[in-house]
Amino acid sequence: MGLIDAYRRKYAFGEDYGTSDYKFGPITLGERPEIIENRGYMPDTSSIMYRIVGGEVKRVVVGPEIPLYLEAREDLTERMIYPMRNGVVDKDDKKAWDVIYEITKYGLTRFKPRDPNFKGFYVTAALSVIAPKYMYEKIFDIHERIDEETKLVKAVTIIPQPLAVAIAHKKPTCVVLESGHGNTQICPISRYPIRRAIITLNRGGGDANVITAEILKDCGYGDLVHEEKLVRMVKERIGLVPRNLDEAIKRARNEPERFRAAFKIPGTKIVIDLGENSWMRFLIGEYAFNPSHEVFESFFKRGMPRPKDVKIGDRIISGMMDMADAIIEAVQRCPVELQPYLYRDILLSGGNFAWKVPPGMEDVAVNAAEKIRLMLEEKGIENVNVILTKDPQYSVWRGCIVYSVAVPDDYEWNWDRMEGWMKFR
C-alpha cells in the first residue's frame, strides 16, 4: 500500500474539461496545470493537398499547432470545433468526441515519463455537473483507447467539477458555484455532491458579453461588437458589479466624471468612451447576478435574448433566476439540519466571478463574493461566508489531483455511486 501511495505522488494526473480551456497535467507540475484551449481543428481532408501529403497531416489538430493548419477564414466556423461549449456533448456528435480524444491524448502523451517503473497515470477527469451518464462512458472509452495505444492510463475516474473545487479548497461541507463561459453550476456538497440538489443556470460569462455588446451598440460602437474577444475585453475593463444597482445608477448619473468608463484598446487607436452613459457599466456586472432586474426589460424588448431555461431531469430551471435565489433553492433541497452548515461556506469559482473593484469606488462597486453575500442578506440569509476562490482557473485541476492521490487503489468504479477507479488491464 505504501508503494502505491509513493507511486501516486509521482503519477497522479488531473484533467479539467472546461467549456473554454482544457487544464491538465500530473501532480509534479505543482500548483498550476498546463492549459490549452478546449477546441480542435479539422483540416479539409477532401482537398488535393491532404491527399498529396496523406498520412502526415492530422485529421484533428489540437493544442498550439492549430494556427499552422488554419485555412480560409470562412472555414473556421465549420472546422473549428469547441466540443464542450455548454458542458454537455451530444452522444452522437462524432466530431466533438474526436476532438476530446485528441485533446486527452495530447495531454497524457505530453507528460509521458521515461521512468521504467512507470505503469500508467492515475487519472481523475472532471466534467460539468450536468454531464449525463453517456459522457462518463465516452470519457472512459477514450481513456481505454489511449491506454491501448500508449499504456499511459493505469486507472481513471470521473468527478463533477464543483466537487473538485470543494476538494481543492479543503471544504468538505459547502456550496460551490462554478461559473464559466456558458453556465453556472450550483452544487451543495457534504462529503459527496448532493446530486438531487444541484441547480444549473444557463447563464455565464457569455451572457455578460451579450449585454456589453448591447451597451456598446447603444453608445455608438456597434461596429465593434462582432469581435467577441474585443467585447470580452470591454466587459473586463469597464464592467462593474454594483453594491445596489439603483443606488449605483443614481450616483453615476450625478457624478459622471467619477464613474466615467473610457479606455483605449491596446495596440489600436480605438478609444471607447461611454461618456454620459457611463452609468451603464454597472448593468454589465448586475446582469451576471440578477438579470431579472426591471432595468433589463428595455434590452429584452429590443431583441436581446433572455438567458435560456435549462431542464434537468423533469425540472426546469429559469435562466432569469437571480443567483441568491438559485443558492437558496439548492440548499433547501438538502436536509434541514445540514442547511446552516452549507451556508457557512459558499465557494465562488470560475472566470465569471472575477469582477474587480477599482480603487476609490468601494462605496458603490463590490466583488462577486460581497455581491452574493448582500443578495443573500436581502433575502434574510445571514452569517454566510462567501469565499472567492484563489486561482479559480486551477481549482478543478487541483481537486482532481487530490482525488487521484487519495482514493484507494482497490476501490473499483461503481456506476451506482459514480465513483471509484476504472481499470482496463
Q: Where do contacts with other proteins occur on this chain (CB under 8 A)?
A: 1-2, 5, 9, 27, 30-31, 45-53, 57, 68-72, 94, 137, 140-141, 144-145, 166-170, 172, 191, 398-399, 401-403, 405-408, 410-412, 414-415, 419-420, 422, 424
The least distance separating other proteins from the CB of residue 39, rounded to whole angstroms, comes to: 18
Q: What angle do CA 155, 110, 42 make, to 5 degrees?
A: 100
Of 201 and 401, nearer to other proteins (C-beta) is: 401
Longest pairwise C-alpha distance within the chain: 70
The least distance separating other proteins from the CB of residue 114, rounded to whole angstroms, comes to: 21
The least distance separating other proteins from the CB of residue 16, rounded to whole angstroms, comes to: 14
Contacts 24+ apart (CB under 8 A), 30-33: 31/391, 31/394, 31/398, 32/391, 32/394, 33/394, 33/397
DSSP secondary structure, 93-161, as one string: -HHHHHHHHHHHHHHHHHT----TT---EEEEEEE-TT--HHHHHHHHHHHHHHHHHH--EEEEEEEEH
Strand partners, 421: 412
Report how far residue 15's alpha carbon sits from residue 240's, in angstroms, rounded to the nearest whole number. 32
The least distance separating other proteins from the CB of residue 53, rounded to whole angstroms, comes to: 5
Of 51 and 379, nearer to other proteins (C-beta) is: 51
Of 166 and 241, nearer to other proteins (C-beta) is: 166
Cell of 35: 492549459
In angstroms, what CA-CA distances link 149 with 105, 142, 181? 10, 11, 33
Of 224 and 402, nearer to other proteins (C-beta) is: 402
CB atoms within 10 A of CB 183: 29
The least distance separating other proteins from the CB of residue 342, rounded to whole angstroms, comes to: 16
The least distance separating other proteins from the CB of residue 267, rounded to whole angstroms, comes to: 20
Of 141 and 362, nearer to other proteins (C-beta) is: 141
The least distance separating other proteins from the CB of residue 97, rounded to whole angstroms, comes to: 10
The least distance separating other proteins from the CB of residue 189, rounded to whole angstroms, comes to: 10
The least distance separating other proteins from the CB of residue 415, rounded to whole angstroms, comes to: 8
Phi, psi for residue 265 in degrees, rounded to 5:
-75, 125
Of 53 and 271, nearer to other proteins (C-beta) is: 53
307 DSSP 8-state letter: P
The number of helix segments (H) and strand segments (E) in the chain equals 16, 20
Q: Are 122 and 13 in contact (CB under 8 A)?
A: yes
- Which residue is listed with cell 482525488? 403
Of 300 and 415, nearer to other proteins (C-beta) is: 415
Of 219 and 405, nearer to other proteins (C-beta) is: 405
Strand partners, 327: none
Of 166 and 317, nearer to other proteins (C-beta) is: 166
